[in-house]
């Protein structure tokens, strides 16, 4: 059986993205080398879980994908929280741009926010 160990999301500047992901979004540093433009973050709750590589995309075909997904209102990644409403309050207080109202599908609660690096991220809370 396989599990996710590392995912890559496009960002214009990995150094700035690292600051946003650690100071505003609540992730912690797994690996950070500004000279190599290398930034990898993980969940504070699961530091041994899947990591996020903040992948530089400026000037590449991935930049077009990132911009197209953003314009189409498509989240590039989904994150899970035990309490979406509290998480959204924390993000709002940190200056993160939230999209309109929470959605309540049958399976849980979700919302979308801007990561400040050109991406939309979904946050969800699943009901058991």
pLDDT (0 to 100) of residue 50: 96
Q: Note whether residue 84 is domain-resident.
A: yes
Query: pTM here?
Result: 0.90
- How many Cβ atoms sit within 10 Å of the Cβ of residue 13? 17
Q: How far is CA 58 from the centre of its chain?
A: 18
The answer to whether position 118 is within a domain reads yes
Determine, yes or no, domain membership for 117.
yes
How would residue 128 be classed by pLDDT, with cut points 50, 70 and 90? low
1 part of a folded domain: no
Structure token digits, residue 78 = 């989904």
Q: Are strands 51-56 and 6-11 parallel, antiparallel or unpaired?
A: parallel
The answer to whether residue 42 is domain-embedded is yes
Where helices occur in the chain by DSSP H, the ranges are 14-23, 61-71, 84-93
User: What does the pLDDT average to over 42-60?
Assistant: 95
Number of domain units in the chain: 1
Tokens 């993160």 locate to 96
Domain CATH code at residue 118: 3.10.180.10
* Distance in Å from the first CA to the final CA of the chain: 24
Strand, coil or helix: 19? helix
Range of the domain at 91: 6-126
What is the spatial distance between Cα 72 and Cα 14, in angstroms, rounded to a whole number?
Answer: 23
pLDDT digits (tens, 9 = 90+) for 77-118: 999 999 988 999 999 999 999 987 766 767 667 889 999 999
């Amino acid at each position: 059986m396989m599990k996710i160990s590392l995912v890559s999301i496009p960002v214009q500047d990995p150094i700035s993205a690292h600051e946003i992901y650690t100071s505003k979004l609540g992730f912690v540093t797994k690996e950070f080398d500004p000279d190599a433009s290398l930034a990898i973050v993980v969940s504070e709750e699961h530091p041994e879980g899947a990591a996020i590589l903040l992948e530089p995309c400026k000037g590449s075909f991935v930049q077009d994908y990132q911009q197209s997904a953003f314009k189409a209102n498509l989240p590039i990644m989904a994150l899970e929280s035990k309490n979406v409403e509290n998480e959204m309050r924390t993000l709002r207080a940190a200056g993160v741009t939230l999209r309109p109202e929470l959605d309540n599908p049958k399976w849980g609660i979700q919302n979308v926010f801007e990561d400040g690096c050109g991406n939309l991220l979904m946050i969800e809370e699943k009901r058991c």
